Amino acid sequence: MNAQSINPIRLLKDSRTLVAPIYKSVLLFFIPYGILIIISLFIPNNFSLLLGFVYGLSIQIISRFSAFFYVYQHLISCDTTIYNSVKFVIGKYLQILLSYVLINLITFPAFLLLIFPGIYVSNCLAFAPYAIVIENCSAADGIKRSWQLVKRKWWSVFWALLILSILVSIPIILISFIVANAFGVSGWHLFLGMSTSLYANIIYSLLIGGFILISNPIFIAYELLLYMNLRALISGEENMLIGIE
């Protein structure tokens, strides 16, 4: 079992296959994100940041993990609805939110020590919210469960999450330079949110928002399969492995 490692590329392909039949349904969970992007274009930056913060602590958590639960139910061949998924996650909301608070409280001192300890700890605790949704854990038990799942496969998880981050970042950087070239502004300024061109910022925000919106279902499936693989490796259920070599 220790020789087995997670193949991020295969995992990504399997994620697309998994979510394809329910893609449109999963996309509906992220409609609030699309609305947020549009609203943010018409309000001052300070209000936009405040709105984004409130959204991130509330609607984003519910939307994201409702989609996660919906895809999980599809994976295990259990019928559910968007309404039931949202209702289920709302019931878990406080535990999920508490898990994020605990994760930040634990990882912050680790980052103060050195970068690598911070990365190590945050990686080990990243799956706590997923354990709350799938395994009905409390916030504290979710953190323990995440540590248990990741600690023996830390490098596999690190590379899997890093590759996902790179795959997300590349299109975003490309979009920023394409838009920057079209409007004659700096691509890096646009990417870092420092551009003074109103129209460039609007087009950039819409394109980036659209890319993230349509990609979210695949990212959710990717994270789900990664979690399920870790659980299968720990429990010895090798028949449940996906994207493993």
191 pLDDT exceeds 80? no
- Whole-prediction pTM value? 0.89
Q: If pLDDT is split at 50, 70 and 90, which confidence band does 58 have? A: very high
Percent of the chain with pLDDT over 70: 94
pLDDT for residue 1: 36
125-182 per-position pLDDT tens digit: 999 999 999 999 999 999 999 999 998 899 999 999 999 999 999 999 999 889 989 9
Q: Which of 150, 97, 90, 109 is nearest to 126 (CA)?
A: 150
> Tell me, what's the pLDDT at 240?
54
CA distance 165 to 184: 28
In this structure, the dihedral spanned by the alpha carbons of residues 96, 102, 107 and 110, taken in order and rounded to 10 degrees, is -160
Q: What single string gives the DSSP state of each residue in 133-164?
A: HHH---HHHHHHHHHHHHGGGHHHHHHHHHHH
Q: How many CB atoms lie within 10 A of CB 131?
A: 23
